[in-house]
Amino acid sequence: MGAQYVAGPLSAAATYMQINNPGANAGGSLAADDTAFFAGRERVWGTGINYAITDAATLGFVYTDTDLNNATGSVYVGNFANTASSLKFDNFELNFKYQFTKAIFAGAMYNYTSGKFYSAAGNAKPK
């Protein structure tokens, strides 16, 4: 689900997604080779805003929150040694784009992630 608002140089959007049992089977909506995490439930919501400073320059900010329950592994690191009762990621992004011509632009972004891993064996809060 998503929504967008545009008014002059300002544009804003918000989105929400829930996936039950991502990666649980080969024929599901997110098969084991088509998802980043294996979990009981994955919820992601995000919002972003762009402001056109000039016709060529745009400044933007994006925030996303990912919340996984009973995460058992990831396609990137394999199975977790301990199931995460809760695995959360908060992402903050600041970006800038300059459009030199219709075909050429330059962009820059900074992304900061704050993670929280909770399991019966212990907790971690990587940044």
| Dist CA 48 CA 15 (whole Å) | 9
Specify the number of domains making up the chain. Answer: 1
pTM of the prediction? 0.84
The answer as to whether 113 is a domain residue is no
User: Alpha-carbon distance 113 to 54, whole Å?
Assistant: 29
- Give the number of residues written for the chain: 127
Over the stretch 36-65, which tens digit does the pLDDT of each residue have?
A: 888 888 999 999 999 999 999 999 999 999
User: What pLDDT, in 10s, does the model give residues 69-122?
Assistant: 988 888 888 888 888 888 999 999 999 999 999 999 999 999 999 999 988 888
What is the average pLDDT score of the chain? Answer: 90
Q: Domain range spanning residue 11?
A: 2-106
CA dist list (Å): 100 to 11, 56, 111, 120: 21, 7, 24, 53
Residue at 114 is within a domain: no
